[in-house]
Structure 1
Amino acid sequence: MSDGAPISQSQRDIFSSLIPSSEVRSMAFSKLSLSLILTIVISSTISLAHPGGFPGWGGQGPFGGGSFGLFPEYYQFSCPQANDIVMPVLEKAIAKEPRMAASLLRLHFHDCFVQSGGPNWELPLGRKDSKTANLALSNTNIPAPNSTILNLITSFKRQGLDEVDLVALSGGHTIGVARCTTFKQRLYNQNGNNQPDQTLEKAYLFGLKSVCPRSGGDNNISPLDIASPARFDNTYFKLILWGRGLLTSDEVLFTGNIGKTMELVKAYAKDEGLFFQQFATSMVKMGNINPLTGFNGEVRKNCRHVN
């Protein structure tokens, strides 16, 4: 969600390197931001070990009852060193390629939404890898970058997420980049009349045109948050207020005139703490969209391939 460009082969190799034998900083990435990415990595990018040692495994959930679910102590017995294993590799990977942070956030969004420095939260763990993930399903379920506000609200509602979740999770675009192909129509032909999107601030429009020419350059990239592209903050929402949201799906949160998304953008632009609090809540909520747990799904030996 947060990085409009595809995850590169080198990034995928780093994801794999984080997994033990059988079983993924900005210029000044803060401890808070690393904590954000760490929780994402542990929850959805890797499965460090089979939780066979947890009390209740084999028919009972971790807290009693007969169903499996996600919970923060998932690796307490099977891999108590999970955090210590992941953090050093993660810090090294992000220091080498800062865009990795945004790619991991995007990966978490795709994993939860399709298979159904910043805030910190206690994240329920234990989500298994799908055996049926595929590109077609991703393209069908993930909202397109040129989505209308109604499309966005409908897509999120289908997953049990409301307008508050939509705006808060869109704030993940505070880091990462997008390819020209995802927003070029806004620069030259937004409504089929060979005119740019009128909601784009003029200086920002001219800057984007220099990066994305009318012909060619589809794989050129631009930051989703031009003011602080490598820092997890609330600047994304401030830019939207100024007509500097990069994607149509960003700007319509403020200009769509449906529901309460406009007021939420204003609120998060004004209060970074409020945004962080809701982002954490919505991330946990999204992570619980029909997770594969227990004997469903699998722990991939190579995160790029089904076992």
Structure 2
Amino acid sequence: MRPSFVSMLLTLVVCTVVGVCNGQDQLRMKFYHKSCPSVETIVRDITWSKVAASSILPAKLLRLHFHDCFVRGCDASILLDRVGTDQTEKDARPNLSLSGYDEINDIKSKLEQACPGVVSCADILALAARDAVSFPSRTPLWDVLTGRRDGNVSLASEVNGNIPSPFSDFSTLKQLFVKKGLNVNDLVALSGAHTIGFAHCGTFSRRLYNFTGKGDADPSLNATYIESLKAQCPNPANAQTTVEMDPQSSGSFDSSYFNILVQNKGLFQSDAALLTDKASSKTVQQLRKPRAFLDEFGKSMKKMAAIGVLTGKAGEIRKQCGVVN
């Protein structure tokens, strides 16, 4: 067998056994250098314009990108709409509160005018997520490698078991991230995205009112914070009510999340879980430093954005992000 074939065969075996292939080596900077040189400028300008009008958009686009990559890889399968009675990923319960679809569609529409049939929805999602959190500093927080292609399969049945739950313990979180080719450091760094955005009361109200089924509160949660949350989420919690995930700095993408975490003010059980493991807890302390967090978050985002990517002749370049060609 030729060496190249052996290499391909080994890669296939590893991907099959592990269940995910990190495709960072298949992506590159300025993939659209010749085919659509204005792509990053178009995505950036539209994203920044929309973030300026809606400060909660960065959290929405980050979450949309995350939920896409953790199911079938970063192939924009989260963007596909239901066809008939066949439910897609966006119909699954963990994804019902996702948003940002309209913004991605607007960017895609503009790019189709500039470069028809060239830029994938998966690349748009990766670029827009980065650009959204890089505003208002207007300095990219990490490099986005491009060259992804869009998948043509999206199944609601594949979501549960792949998307981390706000109720997860550390062992569950670690196992899920390892399956995606990510380590404990990535788990902690990416959890830092909770420094922006809001959460529905139902995702954490059990910690306030009925943690062990006896009408009690989670003893690992800061008592003063519990009272503050109860005032915002009276029991029974209104499913539509939301609170800031980082009460000290929810409008700024910074390391504040890790500071409140060590004060036992992590909103979700999955946040508090990061303090229950020695290695994870050590990383939490390290990422309290602003520069350290931004550096590590950027590295972990590049790894996450390469999970199971389709490149070369795999997949397609959708003309519309919500439907296959």
- TM-score > 0.5, shorter chain as reference: yes
Shift of 1:144: 0.6
Q: 1:284 aligns with which of 284, 292, 302?
A: 302
Q: 1:96 aligns with which of 46, 53, 61?
A: 53
1:206 aligns with 2:227: yes
Shift of 1:95: 1.6
1:228-254 CA distance string (max 9 Å, x none): 111110000000011111111111111
Q: Alignment identity in percent?
A: 38
Aligned in 2, Cα 1:222/1:134: closer, same or farther, shift over 3 Å? farther
Partner of 1:231: 252
Alignment of 1:138-149 (within 5 A): 138-149=159-170
Alignment of 1:66-105 (within 5 A): 69-105=26-62
1:115 aligns with 2:109: no
Contact 2:202 2:237 in 1 (8 A): no
Partner of 1:249: 270
Aligned in 2, Cα 1:194/1:202: closer, same or farther, shift over 3 Å? same
TM-score where L is the length of structure 1: 0.74
Contact 1:212 1:218 in 2 (8 A): no
* Larger CA deviation: 149-158 vs 297-306: 297-306
1:263 aligns with 2:282: yes
For structure 2, the 5+ residue unaligned runs are 1-24, 74-132, 135-139
* Larger CA deviation: 134-143 vs 201-210: 134-143
Aligned in 2, Cα 1:179/1:169: closer, same or farther, shift over 3 Å? same
Structure 1: how far apart are the matches of 2:259 and 2:162?
28
Structure 1: how far apart are the matches of 2:219 and 2:152?
44
Contact 1:149 1:252 in 2 (8 A): yes
Contact 2:201 2:237 in 1 (8 A): no
Structure 2: how far apart are the matches of 1:224 and 1:104?
16
Q: Aligned-residue CA RMSD in angstroms?
A: 1.8
Partner of 1:294: 312
Contact 1:141 1:155 in 2 (8 A): yes
Structure 2: how far apart are the matches of 1:276 and 1:216?
34
Aligned in 2, Cα 1:243/1:163: closer, same or farther, shift over 3 Å? same
Q: Secondary structure at the match of 2:287?
A: helix
Q: Secondary structure at the match of 1:114?
A: coil
Shift of 1:139: 2.6
Aligned in 2, Cα 1:259/1:157: closer, same or farther, shift over 3 Å? farther
Alignment of 1:162-201 (within 5 A): 162-201=183-222
Contact 1:237 1:268 in 2 (8 A): yes
For structure 1, the 5+ residue unaligned runs are 1-67
Q: Secondary structure at the match of 1:140?
A: coil
Q: In structure 2, what residue type is equivalent to 1:268?
A: L
1:127 aligns with 2:159: no
1:43-71 CA distance string (max 9 Å, x none): xxxxxxxxxxxxxxxxxxxxxxxxx9211
Shift of 1:216: 4.0
Partner of 1:151: 172
* Larger CA deviation: 166-175 vs 215-224: 215-224
Q: Secondary structure at the match of 1:195?
A: coil
Runs of 4+ in 1 over 3 A off after TM superposition: none
Shift of 1:141: 0.2
1:107-147 CA distance string (max 9 Å, x none): 11112121235672222112222211233322320111100
Q: In structure 2, what residue type is equivalent to 1:261?
A: S
Structure 1: how far apart are the matches of 2:188 and 2:237?
32
Partner of 2:158: 137
Partner of 1:219: 240
Structure 2: how far apart are the matches of 1:131 and 1:140?
21
Q: In structure 1, what residue type is equivalent to 2:67?
A: H
Q: Secondary structure at the match of 1:93?
A: helix
Q: In structure 2, what residue type is equivalent to 1:192?
A: G
Aligned in 2, Cα 1:92/1:206: closer, same or farther, shift over 3 Å? same
